[in-house]
Amino acid sequence: MSPAWVQPSNSMLYRRSGHTGLHLPMLSLALGRGPQRAPVSLTSLVHKALDLGINSFDITAPYRISREFYAEVRSAFSSCRMGREEFFVSVRIGLGTGPLPFAGFSSRRQLLAGIDGLLRDTGLDYVDVLYLHRLDPQTPLAEAMTALADAIRLNKALYPGLSALASRGLIEAHAMLSAYGTPAAALQVSYSLMDRWAEEGLLDVLTREGIGGVACAPLAHGQLVTGRGQGRSAPGSRAWAMETLAQLAAARGQTLEQLAISWVLRDQCMASTLLTTTDELHLAGVCEAVHRTDFTAEELAALDVCCPNPASTGLSVSDATTCT
Predicted pLDDT of residue 96? 59
Provide the pLDDT for residue 297: 97
| pLDDT given for residue 233 in this prediction | 59
Question: Does the reported pTM lie above 0.95?
Answer: no
Report the b/e string of 218-227 with b at 16+ CB within 10 A. Answer: bbbbebbbbe
Query: Per residue in 35-58, is it b (16+ CB within 10 Å) or e — as a string?
Result: eebeeeebbebbebbbebbbbbbb
CB-count exposure of residue 67 (10 Å: 0-12, 13-18, 19+):
middle
State the pLDDT at residue 259.
97
Segments making up each domain of the chain, as ranges: 5-225+267-287
Task: Return the pLDDT at 300.
Answer: 96
Q: Tell me the angle at which helices 66-79 and 108-122 cross, rounded to the nearest 10 degrees.
A: 50
Q: What pLDDT score was predicted for residue 292?
A: 95
What is the DSSP secondary-structure string of 200-235? TTHHHHHHHHT-EEEEE-TTTTTTS-TTTT-S---T
Q: Which CATH class is domain 5-225+267-287?
A: alpha beta
Q: Mark the ranges of the chain whose per-residue pLDDT is less than 70.
A: 1-10, 33-40, 62-65, 95-104, 227-236, 310-322, 324
pLDDT (0 to 100) of residue 33? 59
